[in-house]
Structure 1
């Protein structure tokens, strides 16, 4: 998750935000926040920041098929990293975002002093281990390279996937925030920490890589078919949700969108479109 995005400082993220929003025209279209007040203008479209796949795809399905009937004007802005959607939401550049899970958000808020809160769970993207050189877990041998996401929560999640499949051994009690120092036995594997968005491209340079579901889909990988190992969805804490800045949970536009995102129509869209690579995970978030 990021161009070496370790969530280092708010200043770095803010600088990047200015560049990205300027590039996509957002500086002249600052969302639906009333200037100078910091409060949403509910007469304007709800502007939601989202990762392209599957988040923006799901939102655009809602926009094209469900929003008008519900009386909701919806605008979707795509972002290709995991920092800018939260900083844009905090600053009021967008009204909401849809791209992340709770462990990541908790870590982000803690490190950046932001006030983003979850509204409603929508889906789960199982994390997977992929390779262009190997045809199965048994082909993974000592000395081979494994690329993993470099952000705090997804790195720990990736290591757990590897441990669950017997490729490494973690120290006792290591949870979602595990890192390379928490590996008890690497079994000869060599690790490369990379921004999550670059991991599909890294498959040409490493023996295998642990890739987030949305980036796998963007790279035309089919997690249910192409992965060497895939996260289990049952009891998984990494459901992706709609989120807003604290205090905006009851914005009537947000309430309408939350209801639509948990609708039978969206459930069918997810199941029909992603064939198990993305699965519905509805319900109250947080």
Structure 2
């Protein structure tokens, strides 16, 4: 089996957004590999497991391209550079489409990375002082998700009509400690843990930075933020994509996720 894992950095000068639509090799050749864009951890690791252990027997071939930001994988799928990507949850995809457009098909939910709050200065949210600083993701879907986590654990209270489209200050009904919320790029959140009173970090970036012992974390049950496989609509029903989705939901992949992350930082989707 041919195997390629290319690293595509966020700063790289690949002008995907301006290249226009196009058909991938797999769309034109039923024998071609599927090209899938992934975040390195855990998405890339999950698909590497599939690539190394399950794909050949299932009769499919994968080529994985690794991305270090949240925008380029969707640009690449929309423009026909990739057949699919695996890095995001539905609320983020919906937000992306509202802001940037593009046609996508949600194929299958695979796993959940519970969002968590980390701190090197405090042992609980209650220890955060008046006027303390909490860092949040600057993408609206995960920003609101972070606010919900903090509200669920008593640090703030949200307005009943708050949504991902609501500004942070407008979403908060009660902020008894006058916490200062600072949104930054998701990949910068792990670095902010040392400086801020607390940081709400996306699961994949927490894993990459080896963060542990969060103050609080999301509950997995009933969580709407499962990460999944997203395809270019032209490839969504291709037999190779259908087979890949089946493999990602297989007992073997569920066991790999449970063994690799011990049912904490990454858990199989329902």
- TM more than 0.5: yes
Match of 1:135 in 2: 123
Counterpart selection for 1:202 from 192, 195, 200: 192
Per-residue Cα deviation, 1:128-179 (whole angstroms, up to 9, x for no partner): 0101111112211211100000001011101101111111111122234443
2:177 is aligned with 1:183: no
Any conservation in 2 of the 1:32–1:42 contact (CA below 8 Å)? no
2:95 is aligned with 1:104: no
Any conservation in 1 of the 2:126–2:155 contact (CA below 8 Å)? no
Aligned residues: 254
Counterpart selection for 1:250 from 220, 230, 237: 237
Question: 60-69 or 167-176: which moved more?
Answer: 167-176
Match of 1:12 in 2: none
Cα shift at 1:185: 2.0
Cα shift at 1:41: 2.8
**Dislocated runs of 4+, deviation >6 Å:** none
Per-residue Cα deviation, 1:15-70 (whole angstroms, up to 9, x for no partner): x7871479xxxx9xxx9814xxx944332111100000000000000000101111
RMSD of aligned alpha carbons: 2.0
Q: From the superposition, tell whether residues 126 and 141 of structure 1 become closer, same or farther in structure 2 (CA, over 3 Å).
A: same
Q: List runs of 5+ in structure 2 lacking aligned partners.
A: 1-9
Residue aligned with 1:205, SS: coil
Match of 2:255 in 1: 268
Residue aligned with 1:143, SS: coil
Match of 1:167 in 2: 155
Per the normalisation by structure 1, the TM-score is: 0.84
Match of 2:215 in 1: 228
Counterpart CA distance in 1 for 2:60 and 2:215 is 41
Match of 1:6 in 2: none
Per the normalisation by structure 2, the TM-score is: 0.89
Counterpart CA distance in 1 for 2:28 and 2:196 is 46
Q: List runs of 5+ in structure 1 lacking aligned partners.
A: 1-15
